[in-house]
Amino acid sequence: MRQPRYRTLLAAALATTSVLAVPAAPAGAAPAPSPGIAVSDGMTQPVFSFADAIEERVWVETPLDTDHDGVLDRVVADISRPRETATEGFKVPVIFEHSPYRKGTWNDVPYPSVLVDELPQTGLTKHLRSQSQAIGIQQAKANLPGTLDDYYVPRGYAVVLGQSIGTADSDGCPTSGDTAETLGTKAIIDWLGGRAKAYNAAGAPVTADWTTGAVGMTGVSYNGTLPNMVATTGVENLKTIIPVSAISNWYDYYRANGLVVAPGTYQGEDLDILAQYTAGRARAEGRCADEIAQLTAEQDRITGDYSDFWRARDYLPDAKKVTASVFVVHGLNDWNVKTENFAGWWDRLAAADVPRKIWLHQGGHGGPGNTATVTLPDGQAWTYKQTENRWFDYWLWECRTAS
């Protein structure tokens, strides 16, 4: 049974679909923001030239060999950062989005059902494109996919877009939510913190000497689940995460008390179908065929039982290991990642006294939209994008006036 105070807090959130914050400022006086950034009303302002941003790709070495070829897998990280990080020695924090959907997905992977429909991840791609609203972004000569770099690089951040192990240009095979995928994600954070190796296209070692080491993660759906996953490792330089429509327990996503279910109305999809989708057809039917066949066997559609396979993809028991702050975002009408996934996660974070905030909205799968607005008790009104911005500033630049 949930503790009464957490049930009350969650009920308040459900009633108001507002932002709730738990005071969490570290003890002691806050340091002044580093020279170079501009802060107004507790929020960084776009003062760096995005047109002059540095864009680079590195291959980060993981401790894994998921395709069993005798070589440690490397995962791709694409980076955009202010030019001042190279010309003036200006060090910046990082906003990191990891994803299994960057390129080469198998869009028509067959379902084990006659009720074949478009994969929910395909719909997510359309949703993410629709979120590219007018939110004060700049244009650049070099430009990463999406708008994170457009918005945050001018505000004094580096943006890193990672490619999950076994997908896109990264090595290995997809493992869909388990420890291997978690450690593949963590490797990039370790590299940003000076604890892992990375290489450029020529094979030369590369260090992240341009960063403060402070990392914040965000993403929607699977891209939001990866922050939940890696946060449970307690990796030291991951300061905050913003999981949007994210999974906290894959059993609750694909199973329900022993019954086999599917996200939304995508009947027939299961964890192995998702792995094939993210791997791409050539990899799924080629060098990763054995690994995906093992997923098919161990996911157990026959009994639907909770097993070690699902425990490896259940992050709730490990919420007590989370040291990053967490800003949960979820739609109350999300039938893809259902609301129990945020509710269970929120309660476990509360029990562990993890610094946290929640934004609930009346929409479905995805965020509330960049221009969605909430009015706080003090009368101030903030859009979702401003709230996201202030949250990152608070935890990564230590602008302690953020709400």
Residue 314 is given by DSSP the state B
Q: Residue 98 catalytic?
A: no
How many degrees, rounded to 5, is the angle at CA 72 between CA 69 and CA 74?
A: 115
Catalytic hit among 98, 330, 361, 365? 365
**Residues 6+ away with beta carbon under 8 Å from 319:** 232, 345, 348, 349, 351, 352, 354
Contact 395, 216 (CB under 8 A): yes
Give residue for tokens 């679909």: 17
Q: Determine the Cα–Cα distance for residues 78 and 200; give it in Å rounded to an integer.
A: 11
- Other C-beta atoms within 10 Å of 153: how many? 31
Residue 95 is given by DSSP the state E
Structure tokens at 249: 């327990």
Q: Determine the Cα–Cα distance for residues 192 and 212; give it in Å rounded to an integer.
A: 8
Give residue for tokens 């170079």: 36
Structure tokens at 339: 């609301």
Q: Determine the Cα–Cα distance for residues 291 and 275; give it in Å rounded to an integer.
A: 10
Q: Which residues of 361-389 are buried (b: 16+ CB within 10 A; e: fewer)?
A: bebbbbbbebebebeeeeeeebbbbbbbb
Q: Residue 221 catalytic?
A: yes
Q: Residue 365 catalytic?
A: yes
What element of type H or E holds 282? helix 281-285
**Residues 6+ away with beta carbon under 8 Å from 234:** 321, 322, 323
Catalytic hit among 176, 221, 248, 325? 221
Residue 111 is given by DSSP the state P
Catalytic hit among 334, 347, 361, 393? 334
Structure tokens at 6: 């957490």
**Residues 6+ away with beta carbon under 8 Å from 233:** 182, 183, 186, 321
**C-alpha to C-alpha distances, 32 to 84, 202, 211, nearest whole angstrom:** 19, 39, 17
Catalytic residue positions? 221, 334, 365
